[in-house]
Structure 1
Amino acid sequence: MTNSILIITTSFIIALLLYPSLIRLLIYKLAAVDVPDARKMHKAPKPSMGGILFFLLALVPVLVYVDWELLNSSDVFLVAALFSILLVGFYDDLYNLRARYKLLFFVPAIAFLLFGAGIRITNLNGIIGINQIDTFSSYGLTIFAVIALSNAFNLIDGIDGLAASVGLVACGVLGYLLYNQGFVFHGLLLFGVVGTILAFIKFNWQPSKIFMGDTGSLFLGFLITASLIRFVESSHLEISTSEIVFINPITFALAVLIIPFFDTFRVFTIRIINGRSPFDPDKNHLHHLLIQAGFNHARATLILLASNVLFILLAFALKSFSDTSVFYIVFVLGLTSSVSLHFWVYKNSFENKRKIVLARIENSQLKQTISKELQLQEVENEAVMSN
């Protein structure tokens, strides 16, 4: 694991040195800023596209320190897929692509992933009674999972530090697991991203100086999803070189993406129930709810990150139990936590509004009482003056 430490350190130092220059470039040369609107949480324009360095500064030290004899065609196609998805986010940040065009740009990235890197879902491990699935279903489910989860991760990038923190933990854990499963290049690449994110968080923490943009959030979502699929599929093999063996890899995958998965699931459900398109933007995401509850960006991020870490630790603790035994438990816990936060915030919000209304009524009544007393005092004064 010596190379992993070198890669994390190198990517961290280079990113730390380059981000100030990138911020100035985005503001003064490219004018690539995220302008606030009614839906967004920031109040002033800030540079976006900070995620453009995630992949580039992760890949360079990996290519320097890795043993090139360990590289294979799967690694090359993985790099091609990641570069393709980086371009999707980059063009989306520049031109605010419509959903259908964004999906079109996903095609080459997914093609590289499926047919080149050979990363696809082939087994559901007994979830809803399904184990091995046919090739056609495998391709379809993989395409759906990659697009849905990449965009779900994109949706949590709404407050300072949240997407970067969740991505940091996911990449760190998956880097360690995949490295130990024998996917050396893939694991080291994840470690390189860890180093870059560590530097990025310094500039993205409240009060942030830069956002990762879709360039970063789509890239991280795609990378984490692809890594989880590879981890799950490798865990199904009877012979494993990993020091840590998961009998329930799908439960672990759910735990890693617990925040974006249930946040998107809950928000889309609410929109559909209210007769709206599930893609209509609003302020019902988990991070919005915590801000409404009175937490600042940093505390809201730490609460959600701590929840994510707890679910990952729970998955580690339950790794000896089958998916059919524990998947539904983790699913219900995640769903319950998400829904409970929703109702708790809205209950508090209702109570706060009621108190404000009552205070205004009392204030209005007090003003009326004071006004009447002043009028009576003026009448008494006039009576005394006339006498």
Structure 2
Amino acid sequence: MELGFGILAVAFVTAFVVVKMLKPIAYLVNLVDKPGGRKDHDGVIPLIGGLAIYTSVCITTFLFIEQPIFIRLFLLAGGLIVFMGMVDDRYQLSARFRLAGQFLIACIFVYGLDVHIESFGDLLGIGELNPGWLGYPLAVLSLMGVVNAMNMLDGMDGLVGSIAMVSFIGLIGLFGAAGHTTFQYLCLAFTGAIAAFLIFNLWGSPTKNFRKVFMGDAGSMFLGLSLGVLLIEGSQQPTAAFSPVTALWFVLLPMTDMFTIMYRRIKRGRSPMAPDRTHIHHIIIRAGFSRKQALYIVLVLQSIFVVTGVLLHNSTYEWRSFTLVVTFVIGYQLFMRRAWLFVRWSKKRFA
């Protein structure tokens, strides 16, 4: 217990200090986000949150966690996606280049560390579903999916950081209960680092001494990749800490939001990667809620899903858990199709 608090404290303090150190450098190299177009924030905001989180996780794991090949390659591949995200933050890379980079980095985990999907569990109530050799390419696609889901959802202060932190807190409990202390400590490091970033992101100011910072693509992609890797590794045999369907609950909200929006964009003849304001938090804001209220609503939803996944992770009826997942996905589609009704009803009710 004391070691856990120590990891949290060191990760928090390290991320806090790194943010303070990187702020003047960000302005010098123009690694900042400027208002204009779809960006309606005030002032010029440093895009250093992702680098601070990554640096904090590296230092904390070096101090507290043994360094097997998995941890070393985890941090190496994480550093690559952080670097690509920083280049994207600075120079706005094309979607094709980002996807190619994500593919190569995901392959490091899948083929370098043998992080693949051996089983989907008993999702349909007919026995365990094994993908065989398809488990490797499916793992690559899964990692890229989580990376882009978190990246696409990063459109409001505190959103991606809070969603990721809730998921890492849930994983702390699951890995701890299974005796996987290395992964538990890694999740503790992420939680402490993200908490420090959120202080700057949510309560910082664009103009005062305690300046706001953004996570940037470097941070959202790094958190998505890390979460995806830990979910696959933690749900597969021979030392699974939870069932494969449990992993779905941890990324259910961002993944469903991403696929729903991509489908609607394609249906309208647009690129699935084209930015817009049709994410769940945009709908909530249009319904008359403030940004902070929208953040709290989405955070409550994510917490419900993670708690549900944790409570059901030892269930012998995995198909029931999967049925609930499918029910939410279908309900989400129906809600988004009729979101305008919710917006109109909410505005009338609270007018």
State the TM bucket, normalised to the shorter chain. Answer: 0.7 to 0.9
With over 3 angstroms needed to count, the CA separation of the structure-2 counterparts of 1:179 and 1:62, relative to structure 1, is farther
With over 3 angstroms needed to count, the CA separation of the structure-2 counterparts of 1:343 and 1:62, relative to structure 1, is same
With over 3 angstroms needed to count, the CA separation of the structure-2 counterparts of 1:352 and 1:8, relative to structure 1, is closer
With over 3 angstroms needed to count, the CA separation of the structure-2 counterparts of 1:207 and 1:337, relative to structure 1, is farther
Whether the 8 Å CA contact 1:232–1:250 is kept in 2: the answer is yes
Question: What CA distance in whole angstroms lies between the structure 1 residues aligned with 2:83 and 2:169?
Answer: 24
Whether the 8 Å CA contact 1:81–1:108 is kept in 2: the answer is no
Q: Which runs of 5+ in 1 are unaligned?
A: 355-387
The one-letter code sitting in structure 2 at the alignment partner of 1:132 is N
Q: Which of 216, 221, 225 is equivalent to 2:219?
A: 216
Equivalences for residues 13-28 of structure 1 within 5 A: 13-27=13-27
Equivalences for residues 164-243 of structure 1 within 5 A: 164-205=161-202, 209-234=212-237, 237=238
The one-letter code sitting in structure 1 at the alignment partner of 2:9 is T
Q: Which of 76, 89, 95 is equivalent to 2:91?
A: 95
| Secondary structure class of the residue paired with 2:49 | coil
Deviation, structure 1 residue 228? 0.4
Q: Which of 137, 154, 159 is equivalent to 2:156?
A: 159
The one-letter code sitting in structure 2 at the alignment partner of 1:54 is I
With over 3 angstroms needed to count, the CA separation of the structure-2 counterparts of 1:270 and 1:41, relative to structure 1, is farther
With over 3 angstroms needed to count, the CA separation of the structure-2 counterparts of 1:207 and 1:342, relative to structure 1, is farther
Deviation, structure 1 residue 303? 0.5
Q: Does 1:134 find its partner at 2:132? A: yes
Question: What CA distance in whole angstroms lies between the structure 2 residues aligned with 1:40 and 1:322?
Answer: 46
Deviation, structure 1 residue 337? 4.2
After superposition, the C-alpha distances for 1:323-355 in whole angstroms (9 at most, x for unaligned) are: 2222022221244146426634x125457999x
Q: Which of 262, 265, 280 is equivalent to 1:268?
A: 262
| Secondary structure class of the residue paired with 1:76 | helix
Deviation, structure 1 residue 3? 2.3
Whether the 8 Å CA contact 1:154–1:214 is kept in 2: the answer is yes
Question: What CA distance in whole angstroms lies between the structure 2 residues aligned with 1:329 and 1:353?
Answer: 30
After superposition, the C-alpha distances for 1:352-381 in whole angstroms (9 at most, x for unaligned) are: 999xxxxxxxxxxxxxxxxxxxxxxxxxxx
The one-letter code sitting in structure 2 at the alignment partner of 1:52 is L
Deviation, structure 1 residue 259? 1.8
After superposition, the C-alpha distances for 1:49-76 in whole angstroms (9 at most, x for unaligned) are: 321011211121221123x4xx422222
- Aligned twin of 2:49: 50
- Aligned twin of 1:258: 252
**What percentage of aligned pairs have identical amino acids?**
27
The one-letter code sitting in structure 2 at the alignment partner of 1:32 is L
Tell me the TM-score normalised to structure 1 length.
0.80
- Aligned twin of 1:5: 5
Deviation, structure 1 residue 206? 5.6
Question: What CA distance in whole angstroms lies between the structure 1 residues aligned with 2:135 and 2:342?
Answer: 44
Whether the 8 Å CA contact 2:288–2:343 is kept in 1: the answer is no
Bigger radius of gyration: 1
Deviation, structure 1 residue 41? 4.3
Question: What CA distance in whole angstroms lies between the structure 2 residues aligned with 1:353 and 1:297?
Answer: 15
After superposition, the C-alpha distances for 1:100-141 in whole angstroms (9 at most, x for unaligned) are: 211222244223212332211111113366611222x11110
Deviation, structure 1 residue 150? 0.6
Question: What CA distance in whole angstroms lies between the structure 2 residues aligned with 1:191 and 1:273?
Answer: 41
Q: Which of 267, 271, 292 is equivalent to 1:277?
A: 271
Tell me the TM-score normalised to structure 2 length.
0.88
Question: What CA distance in whole angstroms lies between the structure 2 residues aligned with 1:110 and 1:175?
Answer: 23
CA RMSD of aligned residues (A): 2.5
- Aligned twin of 1:119: 115
Question: What CA distance in whole angstroms lies between the structure 2 residues aligned with 1:110 and 1:352?
Answer: 42
Question: What CA distance in whole angstroms lies between the structure 1 residues aligned with 2:18 and 2:42?
Answer: 25
| Secondary structure class of the residue paired with 2:278 | coil
